[in-house]
Amino acid sequence: MATEPLLTARGLVKRYGRVTALNNADFDLYPGEILAVIGDNGAGKSSLIKAISGAVTPDEGEILLEGKPVHFKSPMEARDAGIETVYQNLALSPALSIADNMFLGREIRKPGIMGNWFRMLDRGAMEKRAREKLTELGLMTIQNISQAVETLSGGQRQGVAVARAAAFGSKVVIMDEPTAALGVKESRRVLELILDVKRRGLPIVLISHNMPHVFEVADRIHIHRLGRRLTVIDPKEYSMSDAVAFMTGAKAPPEAAIAA
Amino acid sequence: MSDASADARRPQEFEKVLSGSDTSVASFDTHTRSPIEKIQHFLHSNPAAVPLIVLVTSVALFGLIIGGKFFSAFSMTLILQQVAITGIIGAAQTLVILTAGIDLSVGAIMVLSSVVMGQFTFRYGLPPSLAILCGFAVGALCGWINGVLVSYMKLPPFIVTLGTWQIVLATNFLYSANETIRAQDIEAQAPILQFFGANFRLGNAVFTYGVVAMVLLVAVLWYILNHTAWGRHVYAIGDDPEAAQLSGVRVNRVLISVYVISGLVCALGGWMLIGRIGSVSPTAGQFANIESITAVVIGGISLFGGRGSILGMLFGALIVGVFQLGLRLIGTDPQWTYLLIGTLIIIAVAIDQWIRKVAG
């Protein structure tokens, strides 16, 4: 590839007691692509993603964002650096409204005395921006921005979580199993959302067990095995059964792909 | 292989039928609701409505039964005076319960703060205003200890405050040597300690400064809980602490601040307690923790956290006050009050569970 990777990890190691979850793992994400990360259970995908999103601090190795080393100690620091994560459990507060949820942890305060002295929230501004974001992603069929998230369906909640990430993620959006808990129709909608986010220029890291979904949207597929990157394949050149074979160790990966 | 790649960009085989299906995937469910569902939704978004309705109904009922003796400015403001301390301690309890915690030590912190305010003035000869500040500092310290144990040590709030309740209460008795400071002495030497007991009249209505302080405190906390980021974070933590953490809420820091503020509010309650009973007594306010939890629960605030309004707590405290005064004026055995309050608590929790089903 001609372009420089946006997000790079080299030689990541993470041990939990005597278990080594990450064993010299590498990772590369290029601008504007959808990179799927697949791997068997226990292969260390979630540890890898947690290291990149700041949820865990790796014991060894380095992470580079736009060529500069970063050391995230919490998801907040990764967020401040422009990396947004949509967690599998969505990390939404059910009793709070859609707008409150989208701005949780980064609320907008009113200008002037009301905001500075009385720290009053600017509900109007937050609701307006939340509505804009949901409209951009074609989710504005959710009519009432101040309705509680718990009154939404699973797909709608996923939409709110994706909209939140897309609204604030300036560099990378990470999605952990975005379709795992959804029905066929809602999955389709979320896949369209992912492609929408990509079209807006944001690169996406997609963690999924669903091979058809991975092969449909991904530009490249990172296969994780035994705590490290086994290979990166192009979904146009390999079939789903090849990917599963690499992932489970049934077949050795091609030499050329390892170098990529 | 190239065929497969061309295929990959299109919907998969089993999904092709979707093009013919209903496309309103993310649409808002607009089926007409039955009246019961409408009520459920209304209560879901207005958690203080149930206690307000109960309050207005009970005032009206007692007014009808007893007449002018109950339905007068004097009696109404008497109720306010009687619930002032429960309202203050209930406000502290509300903050903690909204984070899905519970604070059994509120009453003990209140009494210890009042004893510190009194003893620092009379034993060490500190200026009363400085002694009051020391009382607030002690309240904040107790709250901070609760907060650290709950947030960083990850101990269950019920156990933590069950422990600190005993510790604080024992400290209170040991430190004060079970000694009461007489009202006359306070009046002569440190009248500021009784500040919240002073009253003013508007016609027949009698307001103590304590009542005014309680209403102001609830109003200020209502504003903070609903219109500041901190307030939203309190609700988010009560709802789902992990989700709040991942959304960028500094959960431990907010939890500690909740317990510290709760401790400060309890100290304010301790100051008001001196105004209410006149003296400084280490044995006062024994049931403040149970009374505050009662007010919170009748006020429709969920013990599971994240739901309810502090205004509901105030209505809950007033409902208890209305029942107590009303039944006393009717002249029944006071046990009837407890029987009715107990029933109200159970009904309130049942309604909370029902409202929660709106999400399903």
Q: Give, in degrees to the nearest 5, the angle at Cα B92 between B62 and B134.
A: 125
Q: Which of A147, A165, A180 is the last residue of a domain?
A: A147
Whether A104 sits inside 8 A of B5 (CB atoms) is no
Q: Which of A95, A104, A189 sits opposite B26 (nearest CB)?
A: A189
Whether A100 sits inside 8 A of B232 (CB atoms) is yes
Domain count across chain A: 2
Residues 6+ away with beta carbon under 8 Å from A211: A38, A240, A243, A244
Read off the pLDDT of residues A216-231 as tens digits, 9 standing for 90 and up: 999 999 999 888 888 8
In a domain, A103, yes or no: yes
B249 contacts in A (CB within 8 Å)?
104-105
Specify the CATH number for the domain of residue A219: 3.40.50.300
Q: Which domains does chain B have, with CATH numbers?
A: 55-354 (1.10.3470)
Report which listed range, A68-72, A103-107, B158-162, B303-307, is most confident: B158-162
* Closest chain B C-alpha to A89 CA, distance in angstroms: 8
Whether A104 sits inside 8 A of B247 (CB atoms) is yes
- B286-315 residues touching A, CB cutoff 8 A: 306-307
Q: How many CB atoms lie under 10 A from the CB of residue B195?
A: 18
- Residue B239 touches chain A, beta carbons under 8 Å: yes
- Residue A76 touches chain B, beta carbons under 8 Å: yes
Rounded Cα distance between A137 and A72, Å, is 29
- Residue B32 touches chain A, beta carbons under 8 Å: no
* CB B95, CB B234: distance < 8 Å: yes
- Residue B44 touches chain A, beta carbons under 8 Å: yes
Q: Based on the fold, state whether residues A66 and A137 are members of the same structural domain.
A: no
In a domain, A2, yes or no: no
Q: Based on the fold, state whether residues A42 and A126 are members of the same structural domain.
A: no
Read off the pLDDT of residues A76-123 as tens digits, 9 standing for 90 and up: 888 889 999 988 888 898 888 898 999 988 888 888 888 888 888 888
Q: Based on the fold, state whether residues A74 and A101 are members of the same structural domain.
A: no
- Residue A148 touches chain B, beta carbons under 8 Å: yes
- Above pLDDT 70, what percent of chain A? 95
* Closest chain A C-alpha to B83 CA, distance in angstroms: 28
Is residue B214's pLDDT more than 70? yes
Q: How many CB atoms lie under 10 A from the CB of residue B167?
A: 15
Average pLDDT (B49-63) is 92
Read off the pLDDT of residues B225-260 as tens digits, 9 standing for 90 and up: 999 999 999 999 999 999 898 888 899 999 999 999
* CB A244, CB A221: distance < 8 Å: no
Q: Based on the fold, state whether residues A167 and A255 are members of the same structural domain.
A: yes
* Closest chain A C-alpha to B128 CA, distance in angstroms: 30
Average pLDDT (A235-259) is 80
pTM beyond 0.90, yes or no: no
Q: Based on the fold, state whether residues A66 and A159 are members of the same structural domain.
A: yes
Is residue A179's pLDDT more than 90? no
Which tokens sit at A133? 């974001």
What residue type is assigned to position A155 of the chain? G
Read off the pLDDT of residues A45-56 as tens digits, 9 standing for 90 and up: 888 988 898 888
Q: Based on the fold, state whether residues A21 and A59 are members of the same structural domain.
A: yes
* CB B265, CB B88: distance < 8 Å: yes
What residue type is assigned to position A244 of the chain? V
- The confidence score (pLDDT) of residue A77 equals 87
Whether B4 sits inside 8 A of A188 (CB atoms) is no
Greater model confidence, B356 or A38? A38
Average pLDDT (B117-130) is 95
In a domain, A1, yes or no: no
A156 contacts in B (CB within 8 Å)?
26
Whether B232 sits inside 8 A of A237 (CB atoms) is no
Q: Please state, in angstroms and as integers, the Cα–Cα distance from residue B246 to each residue in A84, A131, B253, following that order.
A: 10, 22, 14
Element (H, E) at A184: helix A184-199
Domain of residue A112 covers: 96-147
Q: What are phi and psi of A225, to 5 degrees?
A: -150, 130
Read off the pLDDT of residues B251-307 as tens digits, 9 standing for 90 and up: 999 999 999 999 999 999 999 999 999 999 999 988 999 999 999 999 999 999 999
Beta sheet of A220-225, edge-to-edge order: A83-86, A172-176, A204-207, A34-39, A220-225, A228-233
Rounded Cα distance between A14 and B101, Å, is 34
For residue A143, what pLDDT band results from cuts at 50, 70 and 90? low
Read off the pLDDT of residues A11-43 as tens digits, 9 standing for 90 and up: 999 998 888 889 988 999 999 999 999 988 888
Q: Based on the fold, state whether residues A101 and A139 are members of the same structural domain.
A: yes
- Residue A109 touches chain B, beta carbons under 8 Å: yes
Q: Based on the fold, state whether residues A215 and A107 are members of the same structural domain.
A: no
Is residue A184's pLDDT more than 50? yes
- The confidence score (pLDDT) of residue B7 equals 43
3-state SS record for chain B: CHHHHHHHCCCCHHHHHHHHCCCCCCCCCCCCCCHHHHHHHHHHHCCCHHHHHHHHHHHHHHHHHHHHHCCCHHHHHHHHHHHHHHHHHHHHHHHHHHCCCCCCCHHHHHHHHHHHHHHHHHCCCCCHHHHHHHHHHHHHHHHHHHHHHHHCCCCCHHHHHHHHHHHHHHHHHHHHCCCCECHHHHHHHCHHHHHHHCEEEECCEEEEHHHHHHHHHHHHHHHHHHHCHHHHHHHHHHHCHHHHHHCCCCHHHHHHHHHHHHHHHHHHHHHHHHHHHCCECCCCCCCHHHHHHHHHHHCCCCCCCCCCCHHHHHHHHHHHHHHHHHHHHHCCCCHHHHHHHHHHHHHHHHHHHHHHHHHC
* Closest chain B C-alpha to A88 CA, distance in angstroms: 11
Q: Based on the fold, state whether residues A51 and A180 are members of the same structural domain.
A: yes
Which tokens sit at A158? 């996923």
Q: Based on the fold, state whether residues A80 and A14 are members of the same structural domain.
A: yes
- Residue A85 touches chain B, beta carbons under 8 Å: yes
Whether A151 sits inside 8 A of B358 (CB atoms) is yes
For residue B91, what pLDDT band results from cuts at 50, 70 and 90? very high
Which tokens sit at B301? 């605030």
In a domain, A52, yes or no: yes
- The confidence score (pLDDT) of residue B8 equals 44
Q: Based on the fold, state whether residues A47 and A134 are members of the same structural domain.
A: no
- Residue B36 touches chain A, beta carbons under 8 Å: no
B27 contacts in A (CB within 8 Å)?
141
Q: Based on the fold, state whether residues A190 and A126 are members of the same structural domain.
A: no
